Amino acid sequence: MRFALRFGLLAMVPSGMAVGAPAPTITKAEIRSDPPNVTDRQLKDIVWSLFEKQDHRRKEAPTRPLSRVVLRTRTQATRVPDLCRYDSMRIEFERVNPKDTGADAPVRPVGLTSSSNFTFLSAPSADYENALQGSLASVALCSKVTDDRHFFTARSEKEATDGFRAWLALLNSIRAGRKVPLECSLAPLDAGPCESVISALTPDQISEIEICDSESAAVCHKIYAGDRLITIVTTGRVHPGPPPGQLVSAKLETLIVLAHEIID
């Protein structure tokens, strides 16, 4: 997963669901006892109610067949205080008739992929295991998050929380002037040193956090920020041993970013 899917889409209100009505619910007891056609209808309404209604229209007329549509859910609270998320689902389409080449060519869905997107309203004060609440936290605050707020992708709330804390630990150590075991691998034209490059980064530049392989007693996260990749290794939950989340090492690299225009 190397990019966040953040395109505007149109989500329709499910049939039988009034605008402004409470979100539909379902129980395990209902799923285990109701006829398949009833469960199917309930699940469709519940899942569809997650998605935001957005506008697909563009000023320029399309020229090619529809190949993908990306659905975005409403921003939701998580069980980590001040951590909000939304999810993106990309639906892929193929032409019914391969010879059709215009924007009016009929298409059918053939697959889908998804990604999770996160933002912290304030810096996490504890690692995931200690921050986790028994129910959703910051519900009211997350419901007020606007579309222009920056999000980053991660595969889970744990990955987002612990990876973000690892980045903060590295950032705060460098800004405080503490010695950090940092490997520097910048491009020749980069304006270094690495400590200055990292110190200048802001949360709005982080595009993705992902877990990476490490020794059993450590935890590794990769932080993507523009054309920068920071790999951070911290202590894990091993007893006896140091507290989790302590910096072990870090590496800063410059990525080669390729982009190409997608013709609509």
**What does the pLDDT look like over 165-184, one tens digit per residue?**
999 999 999 999 888 888 88
**What does the pLDDT look like over 36-76, one tens digit per residue?**
999 999 999 999 988 998 888 889 898 899 999 999 999 99
Mean of per-residue pLDDT scores for the chain:
86
DSSP letters for 25-82: ---HHHHHHS-HHHHHHHHHHHHHTTBPP-----SSPP-S---EEEEEBPPEEBSSTT
**For tokens 């006829």, what's the residue?**
35
Q: In angstroms, rounded to a whole number, what is the distance separating the alpha carbons of residues 83 and 160? A: 9
- Of residues 242 and 198, more confidence is placed in 198
- Tell whether the model's pLDDT for residue 212 goes beyond 90: yes
Residue partners of 47: CB distance under 8 A and separation at least 6? none
Extents of the domains making up the chain: 1-149, 164-264
What pLDDT sits at residue 7?
Answer: 35
**What does the pLDDT look like over 99-119, one tens digit per residue?**
998 999 999 999 999 999 999
